[in-house]
Structure 1
């Protein structure tokens, strides 16, 4: 998952809404959004490493992950970050407890941002800065830098989510916006300028890499609605839609 926008409204009947894009190499094998064989996790699956980028558990836990873009610091032998999402969804403790343990071993992984919700608290961890975060009410976002870093596409996503509200069609239109940022507004993340331009879009399209899926998730106190649209080489292929009530309190 490389772009996540979310609206946090604690204490309401719908505390969390999420709109997100997963960007990946087209050749990397991926399974569509579905219940996993154990019946405890609803998520897509990275068939190469076995983890996921975003998911929700049967009892209402949620997690999503983005990579931190810093090519010079990448470790080729680092474990898959997608397993962190799976581990949290199957955890029984609180979000704070999980992140406290993760913080001690985060250096094993390449840089990441992890957003977790245990049914009560929404927390996040930035491994590159070793920073734990709590969020105020409202709309927030993260891509391949820290949470709410004012990259052009994050600013555009946050403003568009506020305007779209609960309109599903409008939200997916936001996630499929392929406009590029002007060169003067591009961040410098250590990749060539031509790639930095391509990555500045909400919906990314290059010959070998781009947006593979767009997801909308609504978490209420009682259940969840999860919609995923899949793309191959920038073209829509299918939509998967799940709505369910939580199996129990977390």
Structure 2
């Protein structure tokens, strides 16, 4: 996952809204969002290479999602798959902070978001810090929670404007925000250890590249009665729409 936007207690009818883009190599096999047969309380896409997921929700309304922290110097090839952390959080209705602090060194750097509208947390494995999100708007990309990266600021402002000006948030409008391919000026690019060319590619909310880019967008709306709407749209390396799934429970 590359970027997550969160609106927590920011809308009178929808206390939790999440907009997320998953960026990944296009050759990595993936299954679209579905209810998992062996864990039918779990709705998520599936990484068919390692067996985990990047974002999901369970039948109790708990949500979990993950972003990789981009720090090439810390990446090791023999680490466990970070996607299993999302599964652990969803299956167990959360994940213990002490467990994360103890076992996070077995994974490459990550941010793990989990919880619900009553208590939503983000664990930063590089800083070994658990933060509880406050009411309002937040963004998580490949650095720290609420870093001021151009795409994080751009997306947060657009989502905030839509949510505060609409009594019923429009999933199609939120999907359009998440397909913003605007790249940041070189002077505003973060320095995350990759080449300037890749910093440019990765500086947009929606990344289109034939090798690596945005594979899917997910929108999750949870209303104050506990109803969850989950929409996922998938893309190929040319930015073409490969299909959309909508769920409500």
Correspondence for 2:207: 204
The match for 1:195 among 192, 195, 198 is 198
**Which ranges of structure 1 fall in alignment gaps of 5 or more residues?**
245-250
Aligned ranges 1:1-250 → 2 under 5 Å: 1-9=1-9, 14-38=14-38, 39-92=40-93, 95=94, 98-118=96-116, 120-165=118-163, 166-220=169-223, 221-233=225-237, 234-244=239-249
The normalised TM-score by structure 1 is 0.93
**Which ranges of structure 2 fall in alignment gaps of 5 or more residues?**
164-168
Q: Distance in 1 between matches of 2:103 and 2:129?
A: 14
Corresponding pairs, count: 241
Contact 2:69 2:110 in 1 (8 A): yes
Q: Distance in 2 between matches of 1:186 and 1:56?
A: 32
The normalised TM-score by structure 2 is 0.93
Tell me the alpha carbon deviations over residues 159-217 of structure 1, each in whole angstroms, 9 at most, x when there is no partner: 00011221222211110001100000001100010001000010001220000000100
Tell me the alpha carbon deviations over residues 2-61 of structure 1, each in whole angstroms, 9 at most, x when there is no partner: 100010118965321000100000000000011001212100000000000000001211
Q: Distance in 2 between matches of 1:22 and 1:186?
A: 20
Structure 2 SS opposite 1:32: strand
| Alpha-carbon shift at residue 131 of structure 1 (Å) | 1.2
Q: Distance in 2 between matches of 1:240 and 1:134?
A: 30
Query: Comparing 143-152 with 109-118, which one deviates more in the overlay?
Result: 109-118
Q: Distance in 1 between matches of 2:85 and 2:124?
A: 13
RMSD: 1.5
Contact 2:16 2:117 in 1 (8 A): no
